[in-house]
Every structure is written in C-alpha cells, then in structure tokens.
C-alpha cells in the first residue's frame, strides 16, 4: 500500500548545542516593552540543574492535585502529569474568607519557557539541551512568546493573543491540531475522527494487546515490560489504523518525527523518560499511571542520568521504512510529500527544521520587534542549532490555523 523510498527524515538530533547561537541568553534584561497592551517578558535560559542523579518523584512538596474545571490539560501525558503535581503551572493566590487568609494553590496548565525546562529537569531529569528544544518548539507554534506563556491544553484567558492578533484572535495552546499535535497518537484519537485531547481507553487497550504479544516479562508478570519490538509494533498499528480510519490523515516530517519519538515524545518517552530510574524498566503499571491517571506511579524514581533522548526513534524508523512523510489524497490513498528543497534536504534534522519553520511557525513572527523579536530569535536559534542546517530560516508558516 505504501511502497515509497525513505526520505531524509530519521529523527531530530538528540541534543541541542545551546551555546552556539548568539541570542541564547543566560542573564535577564531590564528592558521594558509594551505592545498592544501586553508587557513583554524577556526569556532567559535557566541554568543547568546540579542534582542530576536519580531520586524518588514526586517529593512531599509536589502532591497530586486533580485539575479543576478551568485548568488546562492536553494531549501530552508528561505535561499533564507535571501540571497535576505542580512541577509546572504552580501558582499561589490569597483568598480572604471570614477573617481568615487562605493560601490557594492553582495548577492552571499555563506555563512558560523557563518553567518547562526547570520542571522537566526536576521531575524527569531531562537535560536542558533537550527540554529547551521542546519548549522552543511549543512556544513558537502554539504559545505567546512575547509574554512567555503557553497553555498545555486549549485556549485560555491567561494566554492572550499575540500583539496585534498577528496569529489570529486567540492563542490556541498545544492541544490545537496541525502545527505540532497530530495524527497516529498512542492514546489520543485523530482530531478528524475523535477527541485528540483526552485519553482514549480503546486505543490504549489496542496498545496493550501489542504489549501482551511482544513485551518482556517483569516484576508485574509475564509480558508487562515495554521493549523495542513492542514500541515498533505499537507505531505500526497506530499508523496503519489511523491511515485507514481518518480520511484527512497526514504525517508531515515534523509529525512523523514525533510519532517515532524524537525530542522524547510519544514512543521514546515510554522508554527513556517514564521508565523507573532504578530498574530502567517501563512496565504496564508505570505507563498506565502516566497515560491513564496522569500521575507519577508509586515508588517511582526518575532517570539516573540526564535524559537526552535515545536510539529508539532511529530504530523504529529503520523498522518501518514504508512510512515516510505524507498524507491521504481525496481517495484515501496515502501519498508521499515532496522532499524539502536544497540545501535543507542534506540531513534528517535539517529537513525537520525546514518543515517546522516553513509550515508550523507563523510567518508573522518574522516581522516582530523589541523583546518579541529577541524571544523569537532565541527560540528559533535553539531549533536551528539542533538542526544541522547551514542556513537559518525565518518563520514562514500560515497564520490563524
């Protein structure tokens, strides 16, 4: 059905040389910039964490609190878990009630570039080079990089539209389909045929069928540990099923990277982020806790060394060579997308960077000024340094989509 030669995509590089770009800042500025009634926040790359060994997570300061009706949650189990435990979007407020002062703890699901980096480091031991790339991608595509805010779910009144509404009247959040969120998820439906934000038990049951057939034996019983073959078969199943069921199925370069697990998303998170740091095993009990309940499992320890990704995305890519960037045509037949133009076709990482800047980052960000421009340049620089490209690309994607 899909007999196409593998294009240049394999996986986004597993680390980001954050010191190679002149706009990546280690110290804040006192500049004040007000645009369209919003006060700009100059983004600053947080220092690397010094405590990089394994430890039990969560600690006593981060108990689980279920999200309230106005809290934002989205398609990413890791971000939802971080928010539910207050590693990100942790805010305090004061409420006066009958002469008492009550301290209110909020887990709103609204976060920032710096908070994503610090939160993923503290809870998951994700290296700053990796987390800064994840944060940069999300802020550029679905956040407000002028005020340094992003929703991990949908539209929120706490994340204003970009100044001048240059990307539409609302800032959508990472749950919005198209730029980063996409098809062939392990636990979320494609947006055109279901709910792309919330956990889908049917999809998870299908995933567990693959685990039962290909998984390793572990402390919780036979065939309860996710291994490479299980992840390969999961991705095969996700792609083949959604391509048939979703008439608008599409996996551009950037999405196929995510499906195969680059930037510790989707499949790679199972093995390199969610696995218990003391056993290095990702068991059914552990992954179910993250995916279904969006909470840290009992007696769970983070990775024993900073996470920079793994070889798993490349191994899945090699095992499924028939899957290349492409989309369904009007007849439901999968067709390959054109390859990126030269010189952006020289490597997989460069092709990914080209697709992101040309098709996912709104082109209006190329013309911003002041702190807005400094933040956009810094975020773009982080992605550029990871790409292997020789030429920087200005944002050129469609707006208000």
In which region does residue 368 sit, left (phi positive, over 0), alpha (psi from -120 to 50) or beta (all else)? Answer: beta
pTM of this prediction exceeds 0.85: yes
334 and 249 Cβ atoms separated by less than 8 Å? yes
Q: What is the rounded radius of gyration, in angstroms, for the C-alpha atoms of the chain? A: 21
Q: What is the predicted pLDDT for the residue at 18? A: 44
Q: Are 146 and 372 in contact (CB under 8 A)?
A: yes
Distance CA(133)–CA(180), nearest Å, equals 13
Find out whether 161 and 168 touch, Cβ atoms under 8 Å: yes
- How many residues appear in the chain? 401
**CA-based torsion, 30, 21, 46, 64: positive or negative:** positive
Neighbours of 19 (CB within 10 A): 11
Cis peptide before 124 (omega within 30 of 0): no
List 90's β-bridge partners, or say none.
107
| Predicted local distance difference test score (pLDDT) of residue 12 | 40
What pLDDT is recorded for position 263?
59
How do the pLDDT tens digits run along the chain, 401 residues long? 443 322 322 334 334 444 444 445 555 555 789 999 999 999 999 999 999 999 999 999 999 999 999 999 999 999 999 999 999 987 655 445 555 544 456 789 999 999 999 999 999 999 999 999 999 999 999 999 999 999 999 999 999 999 999 999 999 999 999 999 999 999 999 999 999 999 999 999 999 999 999 999 999 999 999 999 999 999 999 999 999 999 999 999 999 999 998 656 667 788 889 999 999 999 999 999 999 999 999 999 999 999 998 889 899 999 999 999 999 999 999 999 999 999 999 988 999 999 999 999 999 999 999 999 999 999 999 999 999 999 999 999 999 99
Q: Distance between CA atoms of 23 and 383, rounded to whole angstroms?
A: 12
Kindly provide the b/e burial profile for residues 73-111, where b requires at least 16 CB atoms within 10 angstroms of the residue's own CB.
bbbbbbbbbbbbbbbbbbeeeeeeeeeeeeeeebbbbbb
Report the pLDDT value the prediction gives residue 309, as an integer from 0 to 100: 81
Task: Evaluate the CA torsion angle 311, 313, 314, 319 in order and state its sign.
Answer: positive
């Amino acid at each position: 059905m899909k007999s196409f030669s593998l294009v240049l995509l394999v996986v986004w590089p597993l680390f980001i040389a954050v010191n190679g770009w002149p706009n990546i800042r280690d110290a804040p500025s006192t500049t004040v910039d007000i645009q369209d009634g919003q006060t700009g926040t100059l983004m600053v790359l947080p220092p690397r964490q010094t405590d990089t060994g394994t430890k039990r997570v969560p600690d006593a300061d981060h108990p689980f609190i279920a999200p309230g009706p106005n809290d934002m949650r989205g398609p990413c189990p890791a971000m939802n878990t971080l928010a539910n435990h207050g590693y990100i979007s942790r805010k305090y407020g004061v409420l006066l009630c009958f002469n008492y002062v009550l301290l209110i703890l909020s887990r709103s699901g609204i976060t920032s570039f710096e908070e994503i980096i610090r939160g993923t480091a503290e809870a998951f031991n994700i290296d700053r080079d990796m987390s800064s790339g994840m944060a940069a991608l999300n802020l550029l595509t679905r956040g407000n990089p002028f005020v340094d805010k992003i929703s991990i779910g949908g539209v929120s009144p706490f994340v204003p539209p970009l100044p001048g509404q240059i990307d539409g009247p609302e800032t959508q959040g990472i749950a919005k389909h198209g730029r980063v969120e996409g098809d062939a998820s392990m636990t979320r439906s494609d947006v055109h045929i279901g709910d792309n934000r919330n956990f889908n038990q049917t999809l998870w049951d299908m995933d567990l069928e693959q685990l039962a057939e290909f998984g390793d034996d572990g402390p919780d019983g036979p065939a309860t540990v996710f291994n490479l073959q299980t992840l390969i078969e999961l991705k095969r199943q996700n792609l083949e099923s959604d391509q048939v069921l979703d008439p608008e199925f599409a996996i551009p370069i950037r999405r196929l990277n995510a499906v195969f697990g680059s930037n510790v998303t989707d499949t790679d998170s199972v093995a390199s982020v969610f696995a218990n740091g003391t056993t290095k095993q990702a068991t059914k009990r552990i992954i179910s806790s993250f995916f279904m309940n969006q909470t840290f499992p009992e007696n769970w320890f983070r990775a024993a060394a900073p996470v920079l990704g793994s070889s798993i995305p490349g191994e899945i890519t090699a095992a499924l060579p028939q899957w290349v960037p492409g989309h369904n045509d009007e007849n439901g037949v999968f067709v390959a997308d054109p390859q990126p133009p030269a010189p952006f076709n020289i490597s997989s990482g460069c092709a990914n960077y080209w697709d992101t800047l040309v098709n996912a980052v709104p082109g209006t960000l190329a013309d911003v000024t002041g702190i807005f421009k400094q933040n956009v340049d810094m975020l773009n620089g982080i992605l550029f340094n990871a790409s292997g490209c020789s030429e920087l690309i200005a944002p050129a994607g469609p707006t208000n989509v």
